[in-house]
């Protein structure tokens, strides 16, 4: 098993995801967020224990906000489409590269029954050279773009992030005006400005996982073995993995099979992460039944 959750492009910090800094900031500054997170986790544990019937296919309306200061950052429609295609491929387990899974984890790889429908693309020119995890990109007042109906839509911002950061998300339960996912343009989709080794759209897959209440697979306890992602079928592991590890990558006494470095919620290269587990899918379904139930209402109304 592995606890809280955002991906930084290669560099000294090696902390590619900014979701956990956002989470901790909200815990420190917003008492309502702390209460909401406690209630959400209680609901999630209860839902997993009760084993409710499957939701069936859920389609999530998605708005992409392209925020750019240089023409190269103004990603084209083809690149946007490639990212939506990537999300649909990964969340439906239709990715051909699932074939690289070590045999022991094949039966755990699951179809999340989630699809993403692009309903709008907004384009905003900004004077901000690079954004950070302070949510500036999510507001027109700070050089970004305001979100659209965050209770019923996934809002996905694409911009230039600073400090080597690849992306970040907001867990369920946060302020609606900052709800959504942010991805730097060089890790967005699989064409245009997307650059190896983050050029298969998996940064967005990882961050949307956080947005649906998934934690990092190692449990965010540094390199210790005491973290928990609250998912029973993900092995405990000592910290994130990078690049393309060779199976088995053993840590935390998890031999013989070792770390599940092929999981979308690790930090490996896009070409190395290829699966969500059945337990992770159950957790995402609980988010849809609970804090993100507005998405189900939107799907039913469409």
Residues that are catalytic: 207
Rounded Cα distance, 211 and 167, in Å: 12
**Spatial contact of 225 and 236, defined as CB atoms under 8 Å apart:** yes
Specify which residues 55 forms β-bridges with: none
Whether the ω angle into residue 139 lies within 30 degrees of 0, i.e. cis, is no
Torsion of CA 154, 160, 166, 170, to 10 degrees: -40
CB 68 within 8 A of CB 123: yes
Indicate if the alpha-carbon torsion angle 26, 29, 30, 34 is positive or negative: positive
Residue 115 bridge partners (DSSP): 59
């Amino acid at each position: 098993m592995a606890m809280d959750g955002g991906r930084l492009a290669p560099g000294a910090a090696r902390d590619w995801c900014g979701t956990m800094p956002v989470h901790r900031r909200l815990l420190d500054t917003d008492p309502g967020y702390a209460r909401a997170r406690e209630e959400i986790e209680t609901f999630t544990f209860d839902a997993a224990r009760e084993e409710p019937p499957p939701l069936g296919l859920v389609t999530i309306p998605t708005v992409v906000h392209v925020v750019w200061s240089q023409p190269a950052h103004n990603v084209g429609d083809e690149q946007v489409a490639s990212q939506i295609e990537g999300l649909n491929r990964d969340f439906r387990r239709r990715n051909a590269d699932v074939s690289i899974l070590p045999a022991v984890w094949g039966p755990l790889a699951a179809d999340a029954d989630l699809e993403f429908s692009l309903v709008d693309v907004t384009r905003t020119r900004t004077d901000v050279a690079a954004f950070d995890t302070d949510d500036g990109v999510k507001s027109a007042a700070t050089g970004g773009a305001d979100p659209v109906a965050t209770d019923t839509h996934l809002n996905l911002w694409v911009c230039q992030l600073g400090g080597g950061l690849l992306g970040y998300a907001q867990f369920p339960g946060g302020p609606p005006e900052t709800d959504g996912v942010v991805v730097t343009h060089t890790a967005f989709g699989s064409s245009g400005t997307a650059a190896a080794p983050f050029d298969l759209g998996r940064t967005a897959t990882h961050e949307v996982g956080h947005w649906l209440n998934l934690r990092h697979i190692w449990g965010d306890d540094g390199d210790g073995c005491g973290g928990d992602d609250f998912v029973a079928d993900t092995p405990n592991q000592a910290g994130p993995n990078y690049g393309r590890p060779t199976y088995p990558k053993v840590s935390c006494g998890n031999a013989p099979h070792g770390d599940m470095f092929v999981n979308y919620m690790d930090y490996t290269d896009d070409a190395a992460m290829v699966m969500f587990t059945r337990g992770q899918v159950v957790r995402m379904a609980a988010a849809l039944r609970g804090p993100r139930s507005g998405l189900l209402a939107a799907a039913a109304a469409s």
